[in-house]
Amino acid sequence: MPEKISVLGAGSWGIAVANLLHTNGHSVSLWEFNRDDCNYLLNNRTHEKKLPGIEIPEKINITNDLSEAIDGAAYTVLAVPAQKVRAVCESIEKTIGIPGKYINLAKGVEIGSLRRMSEVIAETIRKADQNCIATLSGPSHAEEVARGIPTSVVAASTNNDFAREIQEIFNNITFRVYRSSDLVGVELGGSLKNVIAIASGITQGLGFGDNTTGALLTRGLAEITRMGVKAGADPLTFAGLSGVGDLITTCVSRHSRNRHVGERIGKGETLTEILDSMVMVAEGVDTCRSAYAMSEKFGVDMPITCEVHKVLFEDKPPRQALTDLMGRTLKEEIWS
């Protein structure tokens, strides 16, 4: 059944998802926070810097007015950067009058609080239907979804009925949606893999090969799984789309902003130079701060994450970081 759906955030992913939902027959509003960017989208119905070559259908309502965007919406999709989710949710809380259903697309862990995105939504939007908060995650670059390239993702919610609703809303012949009750695992898999993607980019920037990438992805998955299990996730979740699926895609894809950041660091650029030159957000940079704090707080061994943190924020030379990883004490491959 067609629904009225609000998509908050008109970046590449927000535009791709709004178009997808429109294709599925839903009535869609697309909210852009920045007034100038909103006017640009209204005048051009495309954004050549964020998602070149993709048009936004005229029937999608583009607005800078949050109350207009969410008024009467059966579902609200949050397609804003992870570190902006709380601020947007605070605005939603002030605006809405009735409980709503929320679907998060951001892949990150909040700096400071170390909250996952569903936790931020639940504690910030007190009027939200607490049984209807979910995250949609998996290997899903906006550039490919927008062009109808076959993609599979997972809808995670502690409420299986709500996860089924999301499947029905989003699924089509090019966008297959699975479901999971492991909200913790799906969110952490999607978030922590961005740090490993930065590491993958660094090794590529340094000129290393496929052997290095294969080892990095495998050992990266091991430390993501350790942290996930410590947080209460099912280890099998990390063998799925939001775990190894998203990890592989983000670490090797030319679309990956996190891999791109790492590659430029490996070639000698500074983090400040790289971020200043980027139009969109590389979530892994901020998530690295949170992931490092989580490893310290919970006593989870995350050697790759810790070395990426040293490279990004402590001026450690990338080549030395890799040397130190390779020179650690020998151990069993599989350990808990």
| Residues acting as catalytic residues | 193
For 97, how many CA atoms within 13 A lie in the half-sphere containing its CB? 4
Report the C-alpha gap between 188 and 143 in whole angstroms. 23
Of 302, 277, 273, nearest to 287 by C-alpha is 302
Alpha helix positions (H), the chain: 12-23, 35-44, 66-70, 85-95, 117-124, 142-145, 160-170, 183-205, 210-230, 246-252, 257-266, 271-277, 283-298, 303-313, 318-326
Q: Which amino acid is at 261?
A: V
User: 121 and 85 in contact (C-beta within 8 Å)?
Assistant: yes
Region of 16 (left: φ > 0; alpha: ψ -120 to 50; beta: rest) is: alpha
CA distances from 154 to 60, 134, 160 (A): 25, 10, 12
